């Protein structure tokens, strides 16, 4: 049996607590509006490989471009034998700022890229051009920036990653995932959070609805839903019936797969924490180069939300595989959802 969520702890785990102006937000409800893809065990160098002598075009999301630029700069620094202190001295910043740049947590100015590649002895003009472009594009504002008053920086990072994800593997235990919610169901989830303003709630719901646009595109969704989330009536019977009908409609899309995890299965790994795995495809125009942003796992918790990367991601792939095998298949799951909708209609 795969490990249980919470058993694997690594020192480099980055835990972030969410907050938002205009009202408090429950961790579980925060994630009910956000979730995450397929396995991506890419261990190749992050340095761009040329295709026909051309530098690679940038990816779409500022978040992903910023993180990619940082990863490449970190690899260049390691290959040059330079320390973070050497890089910091060149930019007249602290070494912690260099680490934050390399992790993609802050944007990198194009002129700083030029200074760093000089320190690292990089002579490849195409590579430098690509890094400058990534740095410039990584400093742009995503469409979600207009909601900055009501979302925390960690949540904004998540949305940026979600926008470039090729696939999201989602496990939800108590509430239907935010990407699959109707507007009225979303209102019902936010109504459970005390002391929040009407403006905060409406903006968060607007954001949630806007994120759902990717469902009608090429984003691949595989969502394992606990039976409890299907049976729990939020907002009243009509709201729940409409929500279940929405699941049936979305579940018929070729890129969306839903599986219900029945009560009869008993306890299972991961049941205490909803989580999402973000999977990324090759960046546009660089299929042969094979660069993929590493998978990211987002886990919600009562004491803060956690992002996992690197070797910490694999246990979640194992857990998700177990959940899929224990759940009803997609066809039977849609039948189960339909039966629950009919039951509510009969009341």
Among residues 342, 95, 106, which one has the least CA distance to residue 241? 342
Say whether both 124 and 240 belong to one domain.
no
Is 56 a domain residue? no
Q: Report pLDDT digits (tens) over 292-334.
A: 778 999 886 655 567 788 788 999 999 999 999 999 999 999 9
93: domain CATH number? 1.10.260.40
> In this structure, is residue 165 part of a structural domain?
yes
* Residue listed under structure tokens 């993929």: 292
Question: Both 157 and 182 in a single domain?
Answer: yes
In a domain, 307, yes or no: yes
Query: 319 lies in a domain?
Result: yes
How many angstroms from the chain centroid is the CA of residue 28?
15
Residue 53 domain-assigned (yes or no) = no
**Residue-wise over 97-135: b if at least 16 C-beta within 10 A, else e?**
bbbbbbebeebbeeebbeebbebbebeeeebbebbbbbb
More confident residue, 41 or 305: 305
pTM over 0.85: no
CATH number at residue 284: 3.30.870
With bands split at pLDDT 50, 70 and 90, how would you rate the model's confidence at 4? very low
Query: What tokens appear for 66 in the block?
Result: 């910023």
Residues 237 and 130 in one domain: no
Region 147-172 average pLDDT: 89
Cβ-proximal residues to 93 (8 Å cutoff; 6+ apart), any chain: none
pLDDT at 286 exceeding the cut of 60: no
What pLDDT does 60 receive? 63
* b/e sequence 313-331, b meaning 16+ C-beta within 10 Å: bbbbbebbebbbeebbebe
207/255 same-domain check: yes
Summarised one tens digit per residue, pLDDT across range 132-150 is 888 888 888 888 889 988 8
Helix (H) or strand (E) holding 305: strand 305-308
Same domain as 198, residue 66: no
Do residue 196 and residue 297 come from a single domain? yes
Question: In total, how many domains does the chain have?
Answer: 2
Do residue 286 and residue 322 come from a single domain? Answer: yes
- Is the same domain home to 134 and 151? no
DSSP code for 260: E
In this predicted structure, what is the pLDDT of residue 250?
Answer: 98
Residue at a domain's end among 121, 138, 155: 138
Residues 171 and 121 in one domain: no
Residue range 197-241, pLDDT digits in tens: 888 899 999 999 999 999 988 899 999 999 999 999 999 999 999
Tell me the residue range of the domain where 265 lies: 14-43+147-346
8 part of a folded domain: no
Residue finishing a domain among 108, 138, 168: 138
For residues 265-286, average pLDDT:
78
Same domain (yes/no): 297, 209: yes
> 187 with 268, same domain?
yes
Whether 80 and 226 map to the same domain: the answer is no
Select the more confidently predicted residue: 260 or 191. Answer: 260
Residue 52 resides in a domain: no
* Portion of the chain with pLDDT greater than 70, in percent: 78
Boundary residue ending a domain (76, 105, 138): 138
At residue 303, the pLDDT reads 57
* Predicted confidence (pLDDT) at residue 66 exceeds the cutoff of 80: yes
Does a structural domain hold residue 9?
no
Q: Which of 80-89, 166-175, 187-196 has the lowest mean pLDDT?
A: 187-196
Q: pLDDT (tens digit, 9 = 90+) per residue, 93-129?
A: 999 999 999 988 888 999 999 999 999 999 988 888 8
Collapsed DSSP state (helix, strand, coil) of residue 149: coil
């Amino acid at each position: 049996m795969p490990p249980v969520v919470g058993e694997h702890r690594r020192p480099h785990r980055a835990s972030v607590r969410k907050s938002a102006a205009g009202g408090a937000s429950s961790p579980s409800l925060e994630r009910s509006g956000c979730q995450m893809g397929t396995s991506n065990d890419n261990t190749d160098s992050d340095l761009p490989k040329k295709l026909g002598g051309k530098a690679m075009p940038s990816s779409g999301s500022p978040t992903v471009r910023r993180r990619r630029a940082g990863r490449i700069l970190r690899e260049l620094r390691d290959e040059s034998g330079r320390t973070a202190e050497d890089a910091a001295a060149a930019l007249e910043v602290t070494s912690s700022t260099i680490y934050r740049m390399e992790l993609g947590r802050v944007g990198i100015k194009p002129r700083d890229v030029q200074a760093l590649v000089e320190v690292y002895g990089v002579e490849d003009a195409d590579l430098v051009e690509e890094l400058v472009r990534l740095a410039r594009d990584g400093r742009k504002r995503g469409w979600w920036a207009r909601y900055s008053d009501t979302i925390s920086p960690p949540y904004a990072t998540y949305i940026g990653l979600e926008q470039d994800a090729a696939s999201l593997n989602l496990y939800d235990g108590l509430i239907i995932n935010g990407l699959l919610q109707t507007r009225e169901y979303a209102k019902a989830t936010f109504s459970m959070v005390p002391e929040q303003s009407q403006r905060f709630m409406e903006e968060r719901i607007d954001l949630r609805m806007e994120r759902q646009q990717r469902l009608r595109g090429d984003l691949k969704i595989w969502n394992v839903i606990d039976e409890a989330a299907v049976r729990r009536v939020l907002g009243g019977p009509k709201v729940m019936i409409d929500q279940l009908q929405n699941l049936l409609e979305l579940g018929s899309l070729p890129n969306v797969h839903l599986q219900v995890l029945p009560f009869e299965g008993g306890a299972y790994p991961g049941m205490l924490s909803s989580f999402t795995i973000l999977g990324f495809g090759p960046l546009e125009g660089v299929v042969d180069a094979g660069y993929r942003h590493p998978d990211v796992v987002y886990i919600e918790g009562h004491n803060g939300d956690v992002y996992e990367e690197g070797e910490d991601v694999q246990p979640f792939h194992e857990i998700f595989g177990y959940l899929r095998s224990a759940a009803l298949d997609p066809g039977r799951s849609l039948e189960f959802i339909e039966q629950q909708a009919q039951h509510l209609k009969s009341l």
